[in-house]
Every structure is written in structure tokens, then in C-alpha cells.
Amino acid sequence: MSIEAAQHSHANPGLIRNDWIRAEVGALFALPFPDLMFEAARIHRMHFDPNEVQISTLLSIKTGGCPEDCAYCPQAARYDTGVDAGKLMSLDAVLAEARAAKAGGASRFCMGAAWRSPKDRDVENVCAMVEGVRALGLETCATLGMLSPAQAKRLKGSGLDYYNHNLDTSPEFYGEIITTRTYRDRLNTLDAVRDAGINVCCGGIVGMGEGAEDRAGMIATLASLPVHPESVPINMLVQVEGTPLAGESKLDPLEFVRTIAVARICMPKSVVRLSAGREDMSEETQALCFLAGANSIFYGPKLLTTPNPGRDRDMALLDKLGLRPMER
């Protein structure tokens, strides 16, 4: 199948569309690898400097004890993963981490809390953190679980730049991974965030036992939202002993690269983040992801509770590839 056919005969393949259907996205996945990579790189260059990578740091401000049953998550209270429930970090401790992140080259500071949905008093505490981090000159992002419209507006009032709430997978495969929160619940939170005027960070996880049609379904769902997420994290499953997905067959790295490329083509102006799983990726796989249109990474030794490549290793790779940090 040709690129032109995969693009549904649109004269301008870089056009921002919100009417992607699964068959079209599946056709992109089925393209010969060189054609897919060429088209992803071409579209990436239409909207971004291909030699810039946005650097983010992710901090777990409240770890463990989550009542949800997400099959991939070591922070779920029902799984024995060695992750203990902790209290919300203090404001001073969070700001110290933010200063270190900025000194290390990060332009965005993301704060994650293991809640199903935060209480209003929790939101107030996070708002103080957002205000403090912004005062340091960093972009701010938070992922706190499901939000009410009022909570989203309060976070916007504190200056929150981005809110992360992933769809995780396709609507059809979702029930195999999570039963304590519906797909509609996730979409409702995205609506509340968007309506409050906060930028949306939303992507998913691959390598959870889903099929190629589910990867296409996830991207089709993201790309058919009324407004594309400004940031789209694509995560490779990090298997953690004690979770139901420990022992799952690993996804072929080239299928991961294809997912990055298709996300770039379908959401041309979104920042596509190469997220969890980089610790186990070769330099060659990561380089292909950058060629496919990934232009953001999480930087630092840990993502919430799972390992991430060290700062020196990341900077050495970026230097080897001739890539530079994107300035805010």
C-alpha cells in the first residue's frame, strides 16, 4: 500500500486532521518500514526542528497505595511489588528536585501522584507546588488521576501548563488492563482539562499483550480527539515483578518505532515523547525513534518508580546523534 493510499488521498499529508479512522491508521502501520520512516520524518520537519529534543523530568510526589488495578502498575496497592505507600512530599522537597532538574537541563517538570482522584485539599497542595516550580522558570505538568471540572480549573488558576492522563491502549483492549476506571472516565478527565484551558498530555503503553490493531486503535482515538494532545507520550511496558503483566512477551523494538512514526504522522504538531522503557532500549532503537518523529524524553534516573537511563548516558546519546535540548 502506498503512502498516498494510507493517507486517504489527502493532497497535504501534513494537514492537521481530527477524523482519523482505525483503518487509515492501520494502513500506516502496514507501510514498508522505509516508506513509513520517510513520511514520519518529512512531517516532523514540517512542524519541528528535527535536531531538538524537549527534556522533561518526572518526580513521584506521592508514591504507592493506589486503589486502581492497572495491570502494569507497581503502585497499585493490591499487587506485591515492594513499593510502599508514601505521603505527599513537602513543598520544599519538591522545589529542591525541580531546581536540580533545571540545573540538569530539563525545561519541563512533571509531578505524579498515585491517586485514583485527588481530594480538593490535595489539589491545593499541588497548586502550591505548581506555583513554586513555575517561579523557577520551568514548564509544569501534573498527573494526579481523574479530575473534576472544578479541580481542573483550580489547577489552571495555579498556572499548570500540562496535565497528563493517558488512555493507555485501545477502547477494545482497555478492559484487559484496567477494570476500576472506564475509558469514558479517562475521556471525561481529558474533557475537563481541555475545557479548563490546560494543555493535554495523553498517550499510552505498548507491549502489554495488545495486538497491532489495538496500537492502531489507540492512536486513532488520540488523533480523532477534537484537539490533538499537545504532548503524546508513547511508553514501552516496563515489566515489574508482582504485577499481572510481569512475564508478558516483549514487543519487537521495530514495532515500537512504528508506533512512534504513526503517532507523528497522525498528530503532526504534537510533541511525541519517547517515555518509559528506554532503560532497556538500545541506542539504535532510540535513534530510530528520533528519526521517526519522537522529540521529547524523560530525563533522570527514575520514572515514578521504574528505572530510566542516567543523565550522563542520555546526554552522551544526544551528543552522539547531534541532538540538542529544546529550549522553553
From the candidates 186, 194, 258, 273, which is the catalytic residue? 273
Q: Is 70 a catalytic residue?
A: yes
Answer whether 158's CB lies under 8 Å from 170's CB: no
Give the whole-angstrom CA distance, residue 323 versus residue 85.
Answer: 38
- The Cα-based distances of 40 to 35, 48, 129, 264, 289 in angstroms read 9, 12, 37, 6, 10
Q: Is 73 a catalytic residue?
A: yes
From the candidates 17, 22, 108, 110, which is the catalytic residue? 110
Q: Is 266 a catalytic residue?
A: no
From the candidates 201, 202, 266, 289, which is the catalytic residue? 201
From the candidates 17, 22, 70, 289, which is the catalytic residue? 70
Residue type, 15: L
Q: Is 42 a catalytic residue?
A: no
Q: Is 273 a catalytic residue?
A: yes
From the candidates 141, 202, 266, 289, which is the catalytic residue? 141
C-alpha 139, offset from chain centre: 16
Backbone angles phi, psi at 256, to 5 degrees: -65, -45
From the candidates 17, 66, 258, 266, which is the catalytic residue? 66
Give the whole-angstrom CA distance, residue 203 versus residue 167.
Answer: 6
Pairing of strands 271-274, 302-303: unpaired
Q: Is 110 a catalytic residue?
A: yes
Answer whether 286's CB lies under 8 Å from 248's CB: no
Q: Is 116 a catalytic residue?
A: no
Catalytic residue ranges: 66, 70, 73, 110, 141, 201, 273
